[in-house]
Structure 1
């Protein structure tokens, strides 16, 4: 019986020594392997591991000491890097990810397409008044929409005041003060000096005299009628004969969303196209940006001055406009705002790693600068030529969280900082 105990003890010693040797052979510490946390190595670690036993980490290629499978290089296998998010092609398509290259000065380039309507230039609407008091015998402009030219006869007036002034002028030439007063009245009534001497005091001085237009334009409103007694400015409120609009320039009033307003500068050139003139392009320039937001549509009116030779453009016509945006003068990096995820003080962008033969992305923190509406300035964190996720970043971040990889909510650096803070304040 004692002999059996001795045998069992001997067998136990042999098994213990053998087990220790085996454990030393496969133990990560004895075999030069890292701890389980070493699988979260950087892309440049250059070590080899087993797909089945991730605690194995050797410096040279070979077979797994546990299962005998061929080791894989962590550097080329994103499954071992927590900063990388590998996706199957199906996952990539399902997340609807779109990417683009980082470039300088891209934030203000491109074309802004707008729409609006033509309107009268309010600074070119004039009221044609009657400078001569008297009875309106004839209106030569019979309807609205007629074109008038400066110096054109637009009405005839029979004026007793004019007859009296002419009589004073011709019959009292020896009295300088009277003739001077008569001349001043005639000139205030816009009667040309030549009329003074040409009038025949024996026959035609008591006839109606023409009134001439002060403006070029199109008649908008006819405000006087024949047989009406017209007053001038010396008698209080002058009689308005017509309202005239000069259409040599016209306004295009465009609706601009507030998010695009920063892209528009006064003086910028705008191309206009109108359904009324297919295939034709009209050029204008931004003259004023509105002061008030239209709450219903969240738009602001922007006024464009458009030359209108031949008065072909008419108020009320619909128009489409193209504003070509120039790159900013500074040499900075701009990316679409949709590419940036914000969490607290951190701004996150996902970059595509193009060295892999499948979709692989990496977590990247950036420092942002000026907000330019749909674009945002990047101060640090990205370089020109890198490929970033411009659409689908939020879905990619959610996938990173599901895979247990670095993301907005799973950031070892921030978690460590939070842990250190809690320990320091306990």
Structure 2
């Protein structure tokens, strides 16, 4: 009996000790786990499309896959925030600016445009007489023609007949001086020089091919004929322009035209010579309105005696308006703004121990010098990225965060939204298309695990980039965005071309693809391409690429995982 009592006592003591040692922690752990589950169920995402964030479970609005609970963010960051290290910021040359309130003159306006030839100083060189062009001495645009230069040698049946008439009239000039004078003047009317006529009278030999001399001066802007063409008297041969004066052609938005007038002084800055300011006066405001660009052409005539101002150069101009009122405004550097059609985007640095950034959509007013006035979206004292904005945007996209191209999808309606691209010329788009085509060939070499040809193709991408004419971008914001994209693409392509190892090449292919994709999104290439994504690339961080087909052929793994990935969207 005593034995059982002892056993029961030992058991009771063990239970009490167990409750004291583990009972409290079990309850705490259960409570803690309950809290974690409660917190973990707040947001749901897609394993293939991490930009999708929804408050409840369901299907992905892009691919239809079941949503999974989003991982808890131990840093306490919001959906549209992401973190960068100090080293990454230094390597990417990221600079920030604190926004301050200043007293801005409300009577200053900034216009953008380019240098154009002065049509009033242009002239057409015509044929002085009819015939067949045997030799044409000026055949290329841009050649300079001086007054009196021999421009062509022409065989003219009419001139042959007129020469024979002069030779015959010489024999009877004493009897019929008026006839002789009339025949001689006939040749002069065709701009045959006195020396040529005297030579004919001395030799009495008919000249079959007459030299034609220029009666205009300037650079050839257009050529209308070729050797062997038959021309009539007065037929245009080429157009020349004189660059002693040029036009500063500017675009004024409709809301600003009311504040402009003829004779108004403007201060012009040429992108090629940023330290030089040129003063001019508005001498023309177009009576017609361009409903596509929502602008009205305005121009000023500039003296250009040294011909340093070349047609096509990009310019900006500032002018003081009539109002003298001052207003207190927020202003930010132009380099801080990303444009996506109707949207203006900046990246704000969030107060944190480590660098944390979030995307912010803002509303802007007119440009004032190198700054934009902010209407809303920012507050005094906030810190924004002022240099390296595209790099920050690329980092956000690669982290599956909200970015210029990659808006975080919070509901099904958001998934159908697309970015309105910048308006550029078809010629510029075709040049970009050549760059994209060479990029696609490079992508196919990576798919085939061909490191040798991948490096060679990267150099072709660089060559095609050099052929893109930046002067076609008249809009300054488009020009600035292309310059930063161009620098990022060249950096990635250069690094890729120098690597011989396929793994290293694929590392640089990721930023190359990111910036090429941004280029297509912003400017367009008049062709549909597929944006595709592999969640396992770059050590499971995920990476994008472009393709002409919806078939998945993964450039980050090649044959090892050829079909890994999905189509994110179609860029048209």
Q: TM-score, normalization: structure 1?
A: 0.47
Q: Which has the larger radius of gyration?
A: 1
Higher helix share: 2
Q: Which has the higher contact order (CA 8 A, sep 6+)?
A: 1
